[in-house]
């Protein structure tokens, strides 16, 4: 059994397959622990009433899979062949073969690429209002983006924050009318159009952003306690190109965890356009593992 990805989905899948007595190898990829390892505070994972840091939660997921014998390879899968039997996975020059594969390579939030953004990620720069809105109670937040998710996130944040400023580089919102109308009517939400964030500033945490109006060229500094990035996602599907059907945005056109290829299952944010939470990723990692175990049991090795 090979699992690609060591985020919540891959680590949960590995826990189940290893505990199900399958010889399990996890190929970690570039980010051991996955996206959640980037945040300092996780307040919505059940069983941790006082919250837990992202790195600690990831370490616990990994230790749990290791306890049942899962092994880890600290490299990235560079190519796969899903049509061959056994399935082939390349890690650089090294060729690995497996009877079943779970792909849980997650996704990356699109970044602005401005100074301060990476340094302050998890320290005021955040990507998910469902996860972090409560941390911004009575605080000011800037939301970057103008599509459905940016506006939905602004509405969710406005339940807690004192003010939410939506910064959008275009002239008007791209979000659907019903969402946009709700946001426009919300007294806590204001909008800056034709505007981009040029820098996120603050020493240990976000303190302000430097904004530029694209039409007038005016530059101003706005104080804020948080910056929510809502400019889209890139699924990590580059190794699946030519192997599975992908849509124009790079998402797998699969039915949930079933890839449509024998012995290949998908899990986590990679196949979730809606919820994208640790707990839902763990759930789909578990489901993919149980499907893989059943698939292998029905086809004993020759
Ligand atoms: C800053 C931040 C804060 C968040 N806060 C919360 C929160 O408080 N609560 C919550 O529920 N959710 C939160 N989320 C969302 C949550 O982290 C994700 O929903 C979850 O991590 C998705 O898990 P995953 O395993 O599907 O994918 P990911 O976590 O994206 O993991 C993908 C894994 O695949 C690996 N990989 C990628 N390419 C390859 C390759 N070619 N070969 C091998 N491996 C590869 C990566 O190294 C990584 O280990 C947060 C996200 C971020 C970014």
DSSP the chain: -EEE--SHHHHHHHHHHHHTT---EEE--SSTT-GGGG-S-B--STT-TT-B-HHHHHHHHHHHHHHTT-EEE-S---EEESSSSSEEEEETTEEEEES-EEE---EEE-----TTTTTTBTTTEES-HHHHGGGGTT-EEEEE--SHHHHHHHHHHHTT-SEEEEE-SSSS--S-HHHHHHHHH-TTEEEE-SEEEEEEE-SSS--EEEEEETTT--EEEEE-SEEEE-S-EEES-GGGBTTB-B-TTS-B--BTTB-SSTTEEE-GGGG-SS---HHHHHHHHHHHHHHHHHHHHTS---
pTM of the model: 0.85
Does any ligand 1 atom lie closer than 6 A to the CB of residue 39? yes
Given the residues 59, 132, 272, 282, the one annotated as active site: 132
Query: Residues 133-151: pLDDT tens digits?
Result: 889 999 999 999 998 889 9
Q: Which atom of ligand 1 is nearest to the CA of 27?
A: 43
Report pLDDT for 249. Answer: 86
Q: Is 76 in the pocket of ligand 1 (CB under 6 A)?
A: yes
The reply to whether ligand 1 has any atom less than 6 angstroms from the CB of 106 is yes
Q: What is the pLDDT of residue 143?
A: 97
Position 302 pLDDT exceeds 80:
no
d(CA 257, CA 272): 9
User: Which atom of ligand 1 lies closest to the CA of 33?
Assistant: 49
Contact by Cβ (8 Å): 150, 191: no
Radius of gyration of the CA atoms of the chain, in A: 21
pLDDT tens readout for residues 5-34: 999 999 999 999 999 999 999 999 988 899
Answer whether 89 contacts ligand 1 (Cβ < 6 A). Answer: no
pLDDT digits (tens, 9 = 90+) for 195-205: 999 999 999 99
Which ligand 1 atom is the nearest neighbour of the CA of 275?
19
Which one, of 221, 259, 281, lies nearest residue 58 by Cα? 281
Candidates 112, 136, 135, 126; CA nearest to 43 is 135
225: annotated active-site residue? no
More confident position, 57 or 37: 57
Residue 239 Cβ contacting ligand 1 at under 6 Å: yes
The finding on whether 141 has its CB within 6 A of some atom of ligand 1 is: no
What residues have CB less than 8 Å from 272, skipping those under 6 apart?
A: 280, 281, 284
Residue 98 has pLDDT above 80, yes or no: yes
Q: Report CA(183)–ligand 1 centroid distance (Å).
A: 29
> Among residues 190, 195, 240, 200, which one has the least CA distance to residue 216?
195
Task: Give the per-residue pLDDT at 66.
Answer: 98
Report residue 58: phi and psi, to 5°.
Answer: -60, -45
pLDDT in tens, 116-130: 999 999 899 998 888
Is 176 annotated in the active site?
Answer: no
161 pLDDT above the threshold of 90 = yes
What mean pLDDT comes out for the span 271-276?
A: 88
Strands 163-167 and 140-144: parallel
> What's the angle, vertex CA 279, arms to CA 18 and CA 146, rounded to 5?
135
Parallel, antiparallel or unpaired: strands 140-144 and 226-229:
parallel
Q: What percent of the chain has pLDDT over 90?
A: 79
* Nearest atom (ligand 1) to Cα of 270: 26
Q: What mean pLDDT is predicted for residues 174-200? A: 93
Residue 35 C-alpha to ligand 1 middle, in angstroms?
3
Q: Is 77 close to ligand 1, i.e. is its CB under 6 Å away?
A: yes
Residue nearest atom 50 in ligand 1 by C-alpha distance = 36
Set 43, 50, 81, 128: catalytic member: 128
Q: Check residue 286 and give its pLDDT.
A: 98
- The number of residues making up the chain comes to 302
- Cβ proximity of 160 and 242 under 8 Å: no
Q: Which of 11, 159, 139, 141 is nearest to 72 (CA)?
A: 11
Least confident span in 38-47, 63-72, 91-100, 267-276: 38-47
The reply to whether ligand 1 has any atom less than 6 angstroms from the CB of 293 is no
The closest-lying atom of ligand 1 relative to the alpha carbon of residue 36 is: 17
Give yes or no: 286 in active site: no
pLDDT per residue as tens digits for the range 49-75: 999 999 999 999 999 999 999 999 999
- Give phi and psi for 88, each to the nearest 5: -110, 140
Plot region of 54 (φ>0 → left; ψ -120 to 50 → alpha; else → beta):
alpha
């Amino acid at each position: 059994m090979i699992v690609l990805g060591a985020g919540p989905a891959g680590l949960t899948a590995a826990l189940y397959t290893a505990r199900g007595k399958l010889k399990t190898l996890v190929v970690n990829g570039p980010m051991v622990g996955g996206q959640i390892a980037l945040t300092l505070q996780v307040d919505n994972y059940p069983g941790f009433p006082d919250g837990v840091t992202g790195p600690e939660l990831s370490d616990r997921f990994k230790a749990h899979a290791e306890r049942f014998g899962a092994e880890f390879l600290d490299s990235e899968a560079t190519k796969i062949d899903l049509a061959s039997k056994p399935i082939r996975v390349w890690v650089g020059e090294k060729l690995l073969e497996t009877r079943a594969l779970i792909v849980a390579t997650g996704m990356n939030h699109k970044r602005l690429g401005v100074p301060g953004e990476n340094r302050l990620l998890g320290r005021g720069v955040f990507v998910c209002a469902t996860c972090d809105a409560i941390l911004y109670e009575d605080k000011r937040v800037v939301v970057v983006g103008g599509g459905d998710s940016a506006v939905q996130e602004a509405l969710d944040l406005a339940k807690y924050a004192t003010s939410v400023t939506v910064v959008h580089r275009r002239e008007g919102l791209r979000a659907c009318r019903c969402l946009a109308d709700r946001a426009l009517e919300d007294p806590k939400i204001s909008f800056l159009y034709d505007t981009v964030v040029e820098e996120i500033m603050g020493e240990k945490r976000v303190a302000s952003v430097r904004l530029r109006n694209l039409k007038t060229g005016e530059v101003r500094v706005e104080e804020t306690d948080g910056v929510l990035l809502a400019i889209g996602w890139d699924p990590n599907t580059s190794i699946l190109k030519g192997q599975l059907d992908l849509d124009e945005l790079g998402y797998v056109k699969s039915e949930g965890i079933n890839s449509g290829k024998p012995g290949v299952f998908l899990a986590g944010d990679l196949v979730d356009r809606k919820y994208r939470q640790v707990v839902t990723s763990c759930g789909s990692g578990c489901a993919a593992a149980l499907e893989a175990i059943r698939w292998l049991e029905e086809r004993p090795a020759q």
